[in-house]
Amino acid sequence: MTFWPRRSFERSALFTPAAFVALVCATACDRSATKSGDALASSASGALLSLPLAPPPPSILSPSPQLPSFAAIVKRVDPGVVTISTVLEGRAPGGEIGPLPRGKRRSGKGLGTGFVVDSDGLVLTNSHVIESNQITVKLSDDREFIARIVGRDPRTDVAVLKIDAKDLTPIPFGDSDAVEVGDWVLAIGNPFGLSHTVNAGIVSAKGRTREDVPLDPAGYYDFLQTDASINPGNSGGPLLDLKGQVVGMNTAIRGGGAQGIGFAIPINMVKQLLPKLVRDGKLVRSALGVRIRDVRDLTPEQRGQLKIGVEARGVLVDSVEPSGPAAKAGLRPGDIVLQFQDEPIERSAHLQWLASTAGVGQIVTLRIAREGVPKELKVTLGELPEPKKGEP
């Protein structure tokens, strides 16, 4: 939005298009009268005045719309935002917040944020916030409770806590798939211990993966990027749309301090995990048994070797685990995965997410292209083993 300095705007308003035409007209009249007499000058003057005028840009004529006030949203949702105090086992190096690289551990007190998702005491936060033997949750009315861990999934950095409190104010979930780049969002949390701090910004980008955000290489990330200020202490807090609904969980920043680049887990990912974490306490992931990469990243030479057109999209199978689910179904290196069940596939991170959350033992349909020929394969998904330390 452009704000015009008052004095500059007033000066610009004095020199209108009509004034410009009058000036041109007067000049033309003077010159024409000198050369051809008053009659010709009068004719030229009338011709200029009869020309249609393009209207000035509406952004100049119309008053600038006022920025929205977020006060009503904040009043409604703030009781559902909580402060989480812990004794951390580790903190990411370089001032970054977010999931730790495996094997990195240091002791120290920690501070994070969470938000209420159930009136009987369920609280969502980041898994990296609760690396602790004791977790304290403080409500907006200053009541404090010792929390227990109901479930957690370090690979998506999601955790569910339970406190012995009733009649809490849950914050409703929104739809992160419906969020568009440029939409307004609010981040509420406890940056540097400044409790219930509210920051506003926009969604800067969608679909940021672990290649964009250098966190745990074993993680599953599909972040929303925002320029709403996020700092240490904001982790686990809600990212809200203008309906006051959670569209993301604030999770990570790029090294050190507020730089206008923060990342939030899309709430639709969290919604998919939440029932399983509450029921089982963890997520058992399924797997295809392949290594993959994006077709869009292939060079022209590689596309030619694989008989892939310039406009082709999908995920290339680099290798197949011997005797794994994909190998048993007949998937081969060089195949291009185009669909998983009914979901079109363009990015490897998307296929990994769908395959890992479909369920061990589930039979799924893959639509592939092999040397340009479409095929369908039925795959019975296996179980994804937990990675060893330092492995992706």
Q: Which of 235, 286, 348, 356 is catalytic?
A: 235
Distance separating the N- and C-terminal Cα atoms of the chain:
43
CA distance 126 to 223: 14
- Top-ranked range on mean pLDDT: pick from 19-28, 106-115, 217-226, 339-348: 339-348
CA distance 68 to 376: 50
CA distance 231 to 189: 9
Q: Which has the closest alpha carbon to 285: 208, 198, 218? A: 218
Predicted local confidence at residue 89, as pLDDT? 52
Read off the pLDDT band of 236 (50, 70, 90): very high
Predicted local confidence at residue 23, as pLDDT? 40
Beta carbons of 224 and 174 less than 8 angstroms apart? no
| 157 is known as an active-site residue | yes
Read off the pLDDT band of 180 (50, 70, 90): very high
Poorest-pLDDT segment among 167-176, 253-262, 316-325: 253-262
CA distances from 118 to 111, 122, 162, 225, 362 (A): 22, 5, 10, 27, 30
Mean pLDDT of 21-43: 43
Predicted local confidence at residue 44, as pLDDT? 39
Q: Which of 153, 157, 222, 241 is catalytic?
A: 157
Statement: residue 194 has pLDDT above 70: yes
146: CB partners within 8 A, 6+ apart: 134, 135, 136, 137, 163
Calculate Rg over the CA atoms of the chain.
29
Mean pLDDT of 129-138: 90
CA distance 152 to 118: 17
Q: Which of 32, 85, 127, 128 is catalytic?
A: 128
Read off the pLDDT band of 256 (50, 70, 90): low
With H, G, I as helix, E, B as strand and everything else as coil, classify residue 179: coil
Read off the pLDDT band of 302 (50, 70, 90): confident
Mean pLDDT of 362-366: 96
Greater model confidence, 206 or 1: 206
In the chain, alpha helices (H)? 6-14, 17-36, 38-49, 58-61, 71-77, 267-280, 300-306, 325-329, 348-357
Q: Which secondary structure element, helix H or strand E, spans residue 207, and what is its range?
A: strand 197-208
Strand pairing of 135-138 and 382-383? Answer: unpaired
Mean pLDDT of 136-140: 95
Predicted local confidence at residue 53, as pLDDT? 54
In the chain, the percentage of residues whose pLDDT exceeds 90 is 57
Predicted local confidence at residue 65, as pLDDT? 61
Mean pLDDT of 362-387: 91
Greater model confidence, 285 or 302: 285
Average predicted confidence (pLDDT) for the chain: 81
Statement: residue 4 has pLDDT above 70: no
Beta carbons of 250 and 232 less than 8 angstroms apart? no
Q: How many CB atoms lie within 10 A of CB 67?
A: 9
Predicted local confidence at residue 15, as pLDDT? 37
CA distance 347 to 181: 19
Mean pLDDT of 202-206: 95
Greater model confidence, 300 or 290: 290
Poorest-pLDDT segment among 62-66, 85-89, 381-385: 62-66
Greater model confidence, 25 or 154: 154
Which residue in the block uniquely carries the two structure tokens 């009136």? 119
pTM of the model: 0.73
Q: Which has the closest alpha carbon to 207: 225, 219, 194, 189? A: 225
CA dihedral 124→127→129→132, nearest 10 degrees, is 110
Statement: residue 206 has pLDDT above 60: yes
Predicted local confidence at residue 237, as pLDDT? 97
Tell me the two tokens of residue 34.
């000198």
CA distance 146 to 167: 17
Q: Which has the closest alpha carbon to 375: 343, 319, 332? A: 332
Predicted local confidence at residue 305, as pLDDT? 81
| 241 is known as an active-site residue | no
